[in-house]
């Protein structure tokens, strides 16, 4: 395996590309390690009433739009964040994915998906009553992410 670093002062954002002949265990371990390292760099403040909370984004089940603010849901609590959904999509690690116009989901917390061919599918999480709906448009990309994760 070769590791090559190219320095280009014209690049606005760092990018890591892994080139491989096949997606084997070694490459997947490297991808997971990089994802873990990058997710630790993300600093986000969560708000509830007049208190600021500093929890890891790994604890977040999903983000959703409620009225005119964005809520971050954990198994037990709901916090507010000062981001728009499109901003969150840009800064969150790859294990977060959009599942509807109003929701971004942490795929690491999915317990089950109840498929509905004519309407939205339902995602459930362990150790909580919370559920979210996956719109038909976002169902296939979600399934692809889940398959990617299992490899």
Mean pLDDT of all residues in the chain? 89
Predicted confidence at residue 56, as pLDDT, reads 86
What's residue 40's pLDDT? 63
Which H or E element spans position 111?
Answer: strand 110-114
Confidence of residue 44 (pLDDT cuts 50, 70, 90): confident
Q: Quick one: tokens of 21?
A: 């002949």
- What pLDDT does residue 31 have? 82
| pLDDT greater than 90 at residue 23 | no
Domains of the chain as residue ranges with CATH: 43-150 (2.40.50.1020)
Query: Over the stretch 48-73, which tens digit does the pLDDT of each residue have?
Result: 999 999 988 889 999 999 888 999 99
Under the banding of pLDDT at 50, 70 and 90, the label for residue 41 is low
**pLDDT for res 133:** 96
d(CA 151, CA 39): 20
């Amino acid at each position: 395996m070769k590791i090559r670093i190219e320095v280009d002062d014209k690049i606005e954002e760092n990018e890591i590309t892994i080139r491989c002949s096949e997606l084997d265990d070694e490459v997947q371990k490297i991808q997971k390690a990089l994802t873990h390292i990058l997710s630790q760099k993300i600093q986000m403040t969560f708000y509830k009433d007049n208190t600021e909370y500093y929890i890891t984004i790994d604890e977040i089940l999903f983000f959703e739009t409620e009225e005119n603010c964005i809520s971050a849901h954990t198994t037990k609590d709901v916090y507010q964040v000062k981001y728009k959904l499109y901003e969150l999509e840009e800064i969150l690690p790859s294990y977060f994915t959009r599942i509807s116009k109003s929701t971004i989901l942490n795929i690491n917390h999915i317990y089950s998906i109840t498929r509905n061919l004519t309407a939205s599918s339902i995602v459930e999480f362990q150790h909580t009553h919370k559920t979210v709906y996956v719109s038909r448009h976002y169902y296939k990309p979600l399934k692809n992410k889940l398959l990617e994760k299992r490899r």
